Structure 1
């Protein structure tokens, strides 16, 4: 039996409500040459049973049951070790793929690789955030995919801005031999995508782009994902970036770009009320300041403009009080704008906005 062209690795834990939709979106209508390696990360619900039932019905699904929970990154590594495909795609089990996506990915790889061409190391794909009420929203970073050419890029040297595309594993289809040659795998702990996604793009000699929505990234409520979970474990982001900057010693040219992305990521984490507990935010800020001064490139870095750039300056100066004040002022202004929009008179259909003058 010939090796499959694509292995989809699906780590599974506490997602029995979402798992069938995820699996169906991968295998229904998938062309030949696709396999699924599902890793049951000692899930305490019915996920293991659901996976076994799907494996009985679909020959292309293989299931690995782990005796103990190892976390998302290590579960992905287990799936990667058992993958047989030329390419591997890490799909989270609470997300799903639009109809026809797997076939579109395989067609794109075939077009890019062609006859007698060096194969793509990474294929970047588009995604949307999917909300519980059915709304979807494009990710702003996906705009960098729109102008990408149809041919293979000569790595990030040709399009360095692609490093700023959302740093997740699931928006990248990766050549399995490339991962082995680059010795890339997932680190343990939360925010494991940081220390995997950036090195994968930096090491890739040939990058392709599929500018279409290939992935629905489910936005779950409080506690449904680590981005909506209040926990001290958000401090593990610092461990991931410490590993990443040690790795960057071998490719120092990329340190300035990654440094700016790191600080921006910390700003997102500490600015989300659903993540770092209130009583730990000062300590988190201190770690941000420490990393700012430890890893800031000697020759500077591309500091962002606008409000984000102001935050970079406050982090540089260790000004926690001013940082908190800026955050409160911004939120107050945003709330005022929302109230103003709600109080504006409705625009009559078929005509311009009519101003209503009230008596004093």
Structure 2
């Protein structure tokens, strides 16, 4: 590629304390069968020899550009700096401890051109010290799109093995928020909401190095703050989108609600009561601000409820009060559901009223009219 040519792809590589791995990463980049690349190495001011190695590679390959840094700002801001400097038609990301198959960018770019796609996702393999596990995410996305319009229901992470049209990112101001956790999910959801088309290319393989010392495995107080902040950002984007409500609720279930409960399960023995109170307070606020607590009540307890998911809330309320499915109030006045030992919802019958609480939130009341064959309901504000 000549110096004045516009590269097909700008590859952004944040560099921070990956001295033991960066050569393998850079070798996989300069050895790509597609040569029309610019490789942007962003110095995030680590404490090892990673950037010394990076500069040595830059001296031997004119496609490598180095963005010098003055302080450690974190991976989100490093990627944003790289995007600002990118000149390519498409933008790609790779972490400096990962590597790529030789035809990775050729396959992604050819698919992007052939299908006129704003995003093209490859596949990836998680690489552990003793094994390599191929991802089945692309197959999950294909199955998801048979039922839903939003691929994000199955494409919930791994933003890095995707090619993005640079103009799309800039027109919609798609950047990484300054968070210590979850910035990649926010970026990915916004990109998926604005893309004209997502294409899949199974032959392009990204090798995702699993390191116990990586930032994604480091837990701190800032981690928990970022956890709820990034879910809140996603909730706001979904509320403003034109996605079908069923798609949004399915995303909430798989990408937000279940992970939140899993987080709590893993933290249960490590944190005190005050933390648990704070955690569930934040969870309740997130659900209520998102506006999906009522629907999630039907979604949580049992996969059986998916079969009645197309019903309107009024129909669902009537469905419950006629005892066509659980709970059976003929034998008791209160019914509750737990997931992983965590209380999720409580349904209580008081006289002619059924009260429904989710995560301790009063989200619905169903009034049974003794002289009529149906019930009325209202959502709690």
Quickly name the TM-score band, shorter chain normalised: 0.7 to 0.9
Q: Tell whether 2:108 aligns with 1:69.
A: no
Counterpart Cα distance in 2 of 1:147 and 1:246: 26
- Whether the 8 Å CA contact 1:167–1:198 is kept in 2: the answer is no
Calculate the TM-score normalised by the size of structure 1: 0.75
The corresponding residue for 2:215 is 226
The CA deviation at 1:252 is 5.2
Q: Tell whether 2:101 aligns with 1:98.
A: yes
Calculate the TM-score normalised by the size of structure 2: 0.71
The corresponding residue for 2:154 is 164
CA distance change for structure 1 residues 147 and 303 in 2, over 3 Å: closer, same or farther?
closer
Q: Tell whether 2:294 aligns with 1:265.
A: no
Q: Tell whether 2:238 aligns with 1:256.
A: no
The CA deviation at 1:146 is 5.7
Give the 3-state SS of the residue equivalent to 2:12 in structure 1. Answer: strand
Residue among 205, 215, 233 paired with 1:243: 233
Give the 3-state SS of the residue equivalent to 1:136 in structure 2. Answer: strand
Q: Tell whether 2:339 aligns with 1:311.
A: yes
Residue among 18, 39, 42 paired with 1:15: 18
Q: Deviations over 1:28-84 (max 9, x none)?
A: 133221111110111111111111111001111101111011111111000000001
Counterpart Cα distance in 2 of 1:128 and 1:30: 20
The corresponding residue for 1:345 is none
Give the 3-state SS of the residue equivalent to 1:193 in structure 2. Answer: helix
The corresponding residue for 2:200 is 209
CA distance change for structure 1 residues 13 and 95 in 2, over 3 Å: closer, same or farther?
same
Residue among 190, 205, 226 paired with 1:199: 190
Give the 3-state SS of the residue equivalent to 1:186 in structure 2. Answer: coil
Larger radius of gyration: 2
Counterpart Cα distance in 2 of 1:127 and 1:159: 23
Q: Tell whether 2:178 aligns with 1:183.
A: no
- Whether the 8 Å CA contact 1:4–1:34 is kept in 2: the answer is yes
Residues 1-150 of structure 1 aligned to structure 2 (within 5 Å): 1-112=4-115, 119-133=116-130, 135-145=131-141
Give the 3-state SS of the residue equivalent to 1:8 in structure 2. Answer: strand
Q: Which runs of 5+ in 1 are unaligned?
A: 113-118, 320-360
The CA deviation at 1:242 is 1.6
Aligned residues: 302
More strand by share: 2
CA distance change for structure 1 residues 105 and 191 in 2, over 3 Å: closer, same or farther?
same
Counterpart Cα distance in 2 of 1:262 and 1:233: 18
The CA deviation at 1:281 is 5.2
Query: What CA RMSD, in Å, does the superposition of the two structures yield over aligned residues?
Result: 3.0
The corresponding residue for 1:344 is none
- Whether the 8 Å CA contact 1:16–1:47 is kept in 2: the answer is yes
Give the 3-state SS of the residue equivalent to 2:100 in structure 1. Answer: coil
Residue among 279, 288, 308 paired with 2:283: 288
Give the 3-state SS of the residue equivalent to 1:300 in structure 2. Answer: helix
